[in-house]
Amino acid sequence: MESLIQKFNAVPDKLAVDKCVIIAAEKLIEAVKFLKENSFDVLIDIVGIDYLGMENHNAPRFAVIYCLKSTKNMERLRLKVQIDEGETISTLSEIYPIADWQEREVWDLFGIVFENHRNLKRLLNHVEFEGHPLRKDYPAKKRQWLTENDKMQDQLEARLETLGYKVVSH
């Protein structure tokens, strides 16, 4: 954690009960590459937080938290990036491939955009869903009906082709 503080101007998160540092969005990629090279080989999860309406909160509205683990040292570390409405954050999918789906989940539920993400589309909500249901300003009782299903055909076909299968259209 000390190396993150010194090298990337990270700040310990005083509200966290575990190892967590707040890092600037523009330093995220460089810091994550550094951590991966220094044994943090697993991206466990990416979590979004909406602080809208939280008492005494003087930081940007949203936070994205990256939960990392070193299987070599059996350590866990969280990186927190704070961003405001309309700001974007870089994708980590080139560093940790699992970030692809985790970022889609955060975008789907909170509307946080991951810059240079190759396929940022709905994952948990249906394709016709409007809005982002875990935002604090989303109407709690709003209901949205699905009339058209997205079978994720494009992703299935791409995956089959990478495995050597030939996809034949009807």
Residues 13-28, mean pLDDT to the nearest whole number:
93
Task: Give me the residues paired with residue 114 across strands.
Answer: 89
| Rounded alpha-carbon distances, angstroms, from residue 17 to 20, 77, 78, 111, 158 | 8, 11, 11, 27, 42
**Residue 72 corresponds to which tokens in the numbers above?**
């070599």
DSSP 3-state percent helix, strand, coil across the chain (nearest 5): 25, 20, 55
State what percent of residues in the chain have pLDDT above 70. 98
How many whole angstroms separate alpha carbon 7 and alpha carbon 98? 26
CATH 3.30.460.80 fits 2-162, yes or no: yes
Average pLDDT over the chain, rounded to whole? 91
| pTM, rounded to two decimals | 0.86
pLDDT one-digit tens code per residue, 103-151: 999 999 999 999 999 989 888 888 888 999 999 999 988 888 877 767 7
Other beta carbons within 10 angstroms of residue 106's beta carbon come to 26
pLDDT in tens, 147-166: 776 777 777 888 888 899 98
Residue range 94-104: mean pLDDT, rounded? 96
Q: Find all residues with CB under 8 Å of 13, minimum gap 6, and list them.
A: 20, 21, 22, 78, 80
For 23, 35, 124, the CA distances from 32, given in Å and listed in that order, are: 10, 5, 26
Residue 170, pLDDT > 70, answer: no
d(CA 163, CA 139): 43
Q: Is residue 22 scored above 70 in pLDDT?
A: yes
